[in-house]
Amino acid sequence: MSVFNIPFRRLLFAFTLVLLPCAMAVCLLLWVALYNGYPTVYPDTGAYLYTGAFLIALPPFRAPGYGIFANWTSLGTSAWFTAIAQGILVVTVLYETCKYLIGGEAKFRATCMLAIVCVLAVLTSLPWEVSLLMPDVFAGMVFLSVFLLAFNEKLRLAERIILAAILTISVSAHMSLLPIAALFVAALVIPRLAGWQMRGTPPIRTTLAWLLVPMIAAGIWTATLNRRMGLGFHLSVSGNEFLLGRLFGDGLAADFLRDNCPRKPFIACRYLNNLPRTTEQFLFWHPLLRELDGHGDELAELVHGTLAAYPLRFVESSIMETLRQLTRFRTGDEIRDFALHAPNSNAAVIQQILPRDFPAFSNSRMIRGRLLALANAAATVDTVVFWLSAAACLVLAWTERPERLNPFLYSAIAFLVINAAICATLAGVYDRYQSRVAWIMPLCFTFYAAGWIASKNARTPENPG
């Protein structure tokens, strides 16, 4: 045998066992974009793409990280490359999770991963998130990368670096993901500080280093980008705007203004008889936000004053909104919003920065109104699968008690609650916020099923013990 054939044979072996199934998994997760004829979009997509291309922020200001990611991965040519990059990142963290939770030989892991992706592609919201030109897909990657860095002691240095890089990109993609990641890390670390330690987990100092450094890096990068756009060295420029919109939706901000307008000459007092009643009205249609532009002090005062005046009502409202968010995760929010003609700049922005994509975008099924029925059907299926998976996982966790799968399930439940709490409290209740992570529960069930198959195979006569 020629010595030059050895590396080629090993490369071919690795491609057949791992890379080919992973490539197939990426294609499966992009089926929505492929069927649509172009990656799907949300009303906010144009603002993200424009900010990434020109470093110019459009109000309400969003985290610039996803725009930069889209600009880099599109290669200035096509958003297809961005969707493919999203699929590759998702498959990377899924493969590492399979490696940790299922184990076994590379061929078995790759086969399990491909089977799991098949289930997720058909029965969950994941392919809709991967196919969407929005930062939503990164929420699930925050969960998986944090979990692996916190629990898998056997990760090699290269794997840790890759997961840490994915965590950095993910946290910087959307302004909600930094507080979500921070609370999730606290939920995983505090029990260990209190004395609970699962076998096979890295030391607490190592865990904190690998988790905090990417989050800090993401925060610094976000603030630096905001400063370059003339918005100051801040993590969240529009945080008060989204929260005030949520307070108007609850009626708390309106009550605060009615109680204080006789004494304080707020700009908002001009609209006392016509205040916004929903978050969307305040952010996109009502003239109040435009008049508050340049009056950040008043905006902050309205938020802080409302919270100080009604702390118990805010806490009660936040709890109720969190519970609502936990049960609202209909797949395809982006398709329904487009069908309702939500205001957006997608066509103009894509024509400007990705002109070669414009014909495909214009002729896509979504733009022609031919994707709504499929999205509604997927929403029904995905909702049923979520609740069935949740019930099955709880039964399996109680009866089987596998060493690694149960902590994965409990971590997933904690992450789902944290995601719902942060989004509902700071922005409001939207299907999109929870559908971006709802696929995690069916993922848990598929891991229980794969673990049962792996243990059964290990007990066969051909594989004793």
- Dump pLDDT digits (tens) for 410-420: 999 999 999 99
342 has pLDDT over 80: no
Identity at 178, one-letter amino acid code: L
When computed from its CA atoms, the radius of gyration of the chain, rounded to whole angstroms, is 23
In the block, residue with structure tokens 């996803």: 66
pLDDT of residue 340: 62
Query: Tokens for 91?
Result: 């498959």
Q: Is there a contact between 49 and 350 (Cβ–Cβ < 8 Å)?
A: yes
Alpha helix stretches (DSSP H) within 293-430: 296-309, 311-326, 333-339, 346-353, 358-362, 372-399, 405-426
pLDDT in tens, 293-302: 766 688 889 9
pLDDT for residue 59:
79
Confidence of residue 338 (pLDDT cuts 50, 70, 90): confident
The one-letter amino acid code at 418 reads I
pLDDT at 8: 60
- Give the global pTM: 0.92
Query: ∠ at Cα 379 (375, 382), nearest 5°?
Result: 130
Identify the band that residue 4 occupies on the pLDDT scale cut at 50, 70 and 90: very low
Instruction: Please state which of the ranges 268-282, 355-369, 378-392 shows the lowest mean pLDDT.
Output: 268-282
CA distances from 342 to 45, 112, 130, 187, 370 (A): 12, 40, 22, 37, 17
Residue 360, number of CB atoms within 10 A of its CB: 18
- Residue 256 identity (one-letter amino acid): F
Q: How far apart are CA 214 and CA 172, in angstroms?
A: 10
The span from the CA of 168 to the CA of 417, in Å, is 22
What is the pLDDT, as a whole number, of residue 339? 61
Task: Report the C-alpha gap between 369 and 336 in whole angstroms.
Answer: 10
Residues 6+ apart with CB under 8 A from 39: 33, 79, 80, 82, 83, 131, 132, 133
pLDDT at 1 over 70: no
**3-class SS at 58?**
coil
Spatial CA neighbour of 138 closest among 414, 443, 436, 429: 436
Q: Does residue 464 register a pLDDT over 50?
A: no
Q: pLDDT tens, 12-43?
A: 665 667 788 999 999 999 999 999 999 999 99
The Cα-based distances of 425 to 45, 123, 348 in angstroms read 23, 29, 33
- Separation CA 191–CA 203 (nearest Å): 13
| 444/13: higher pLDDT | 444
Cβ count near 363 (within 10 Å):
11
Helix, strand, coil percent content, the chain, rounded in steps of 5: 75, 0, 25
**CA 302 – CA 246 distance, rounded (Å):** 12
Contact 423, 325 (CB under 8 A): yes
H-type helices in 60-137, by residue range? 65-73, 79-101, 106-123, 126-130
Q: Look at residue 239 in the predicted model and tell me its pLDDT.
A: 66
pLDDT at position 269 is: 93
- Say how far apart CA 100 and CA 191 lie, in whole Å: 21
Rounded to whole angstroms, how far apart are CA atoms 114 and 214? 29
Give the pLDDT of residue 107: 80
pLDDT tens-digit readout, 110-153: 888 999 999 999 999 999 999 999 999 999 999 999 999 999 99
> pLDDT digit string (tens) for 221-256?
999 999 999 989 988 877 688 899 999 999 999 999
- Which tokens go with 297? 């002090």
Provide the mean pLDDT of the chain. Answer: 91
**Residue 419: closest CA among 102, 29, 146:** 146
Asked if the model's pLDDT at residue 315 lies above 90, the reply is yes
pLDDT digits (tens, 9 = 90+) for 37-92: 999 999 999 999 999 999 998 877 889 999 999 999 999 999 999 999 999 999 99
Q: What pLDDT, on the 0 to 100 scale, is given for residue 236?
A: 83
Amino acid identity at 379: A
Instruction: Name the β-bridge partners of 132.
Output: 40
Q: How many residues does the chain have?
A: 465
C-alpha to C-alpha distance for 85 and 39, rounded to whole angstroms: 12
In Å, what is the CA distance from 176 to each residue of 56, 262, 275, 423?
20, 35, 26, 7
